[in-house]
Amino acid sequence: MKVPLLDLQAQLSYLENDLIAAVTRVIKSTRYIQGPEVECLEKEIAEYSGAAYGIGVTSGTDALLVCLMGLGIGPGDKILTSPYSFFATMGVILRVGAIPVFADIDPVSFNIDPVKIGELLAADTERKIKAIIPVHLYGQCADMTAIMKQAEQYRVPVIEDAAQAIGAEYPMSQNGKVDYKRAGSMGIAGCFSFFPSKNLGGIGDGGMVIVQEKEIAEKLVLLRNHGAHPKYYHKLVGGNFRLDPIQAAALRIKLPYLQKWHRQRAENAATYNRLFTETGLVAEQKVKLPASVYADSLGPEHGIKNVHIYNQYVLRVRRRTELIEWLSKNDIGCEIYYPVPLHKQDCLGSLASETYCPEAEKAADETLALPIYPELTSSMQSYVVEKIVQFYR
């Protein structure tokens, strides 16, 4: 049996006609820049995520970049973030000339540890830290209650890297009351990626920023289009960060499926968890299951299930290198997200030496993502687990 890490053909089988019709509609409209498809998607994503405004951009990377530009981040500024993420999270900080400061991750959630954030903010007596970028890794939100509390105390804005977490729900505590918020809607801005492997993936690159405040939305709209308003009058130096209407049209076809896809991914995760437990691999500590850390806080009155949208299903495993070889020999796709933590990347040069993040380093050495896409069948999952059992026996 062949089990790829991700199979986009599986969803194409029921989306193809609608996607072609949507793309054709854009072609025939001749509205190739901005236009109604982009505007509608912006409204739909903002509404879906519980935000006031959506600003479509070229990619998840550019969503983060335009936010840093919007906050006026530049040389000498420091940005606090997670050392365990896709490179873009750090890349944008370096590109605006700022310095990344890393707070180590919590080993259970893989997300940035708010206690470490507190320590770094307290130690920043010169107040060089100008923003915090928590990453909602693998589809589960970072601990935003604690993060927002620190951020408010030190008056530092929070930009959520929600590239892997669109629609993920988080039980936010405010004034002793729990309120369920969707990823991206809690900080000053939230950034999404529509890279094809994300839960809501385009037919190419795309991204979006969501914000609550009109003033910020207007600034990001300017920056997205060379800072021009009106045309050819440039108040700010921005860039071309416009979302392609063909992508917007395709994403609007996919958005109505998103809740169902999240549920299917969560069901697949539950199936893996059950199988790995039944086979004894968990008890023998050959594999460690991913934790949905907020699931327990959910009361039955809430009917909210997307606390983890499983963009990735990530285990900690023993003898990882040999296991990967074995899986690929058996036609099973898998991937390491991510093998080198950000503070260990060569491009950081001398900036790297100041950082000590043992949990991120340990995660980078131990984690392995298995196929989890919505259309994955239960027989494929059984095959994956069976092969992993065979490996360890």
Closest residue to ligand PLP: CB criterion: 60
C-alpha distances in Å from residue 263, one per residue of 4, 170, 308, 311, 354: 20, 16, 10, 11, 42
Helices (H), 279-355: 320-329
Q: For residues 357 and 345, give the distance between their C-alpha atoms in angstroms, rounded to a whole number.
A: 13
The CB-of-202 to ligand PLP minimum distance in angstroms stands at 9
Min dist CB 161 to ligand PLP, Å, is 5
Output Rg (C-alpha) for the chain, integer angstroms.
21
The stretch near ligand PLP (CB under 6 A) out of 25-33, 54-62, 102-110, 180-188 is 54-62
Q: Give the residue from 316, 332, 325 showing the smallest Cα distance to 371.
A: 332
Among 49, 81, 145, 164, binds ligand PLP (CB under 6 A): 164
60 binds ligand PLP (CB under 6 A): yes
Per CB under 6 A, 247 contacts ligand PLP: no
- Pick the binder of ligand PLP from 11, 49, 81, 89 (CB under 6 A): 89
Is 161 near ligand PLP (CB under 6 A)? Answer: yes
Evaluate the CA torsion angle 45, 50, 56, 61 in order and state its sign. Answer: negative
The rounded distance, in Å, linking the Cα atoms of 315 and 47 is 33
Smallest distance, ligand PLP to C-beta of residue 246, A: 16
Binding to ligand PLP (CB under 6 A): which residues in 188-207? 193, 195, 205, 207
Contacting ligand PLP (CB under 6 A), which of 22, 69, 112, 135? 135
Beta-strand relationship, 207-211 and 53-57: antiparallel
Which of residues 193 and 268 has its CB atom nearest to ligand PLP in the complex?
193
* Number of residues assigned to the chain: 393
Is the Cβ of residue 62 or residue 169 nearer to ligand PLP in the bound state?
62
Q: CA-CA distances (angstroms) from residue 202 to 193, 247, 308? A: 9, 6, 21
CB of 135 to ligand PLP, least distance (A): 5
Q: How far is the CB of 137 from ligand PLP (least distance, A)?
A: 7
Nearer to ligand PLP, 279 or 311 (CB): 311
Q: 227 — phi, psi (to 5°)?
A: 65, 20
Q: How many CB atoms are located within 10 Å of the residue 1 CB?
A: 13
**Interface segment toward ligand PLP; rule CB under 6 A; list 24-32, 59-67, 226-234, 352-360:** 59-67
| 3-state SS record for 162-211 | CCCCCCCEEEEEECCEEEEEECCCCCCEEEEECCCCCCCCCCCCCEEEEE
Instruction: Give the footprint of ligand PLP on this chain (CB under 6 A).
Output: 59-61, 85-86, 88-89, 135, 161, 163-164, 193, 195, 205, 207
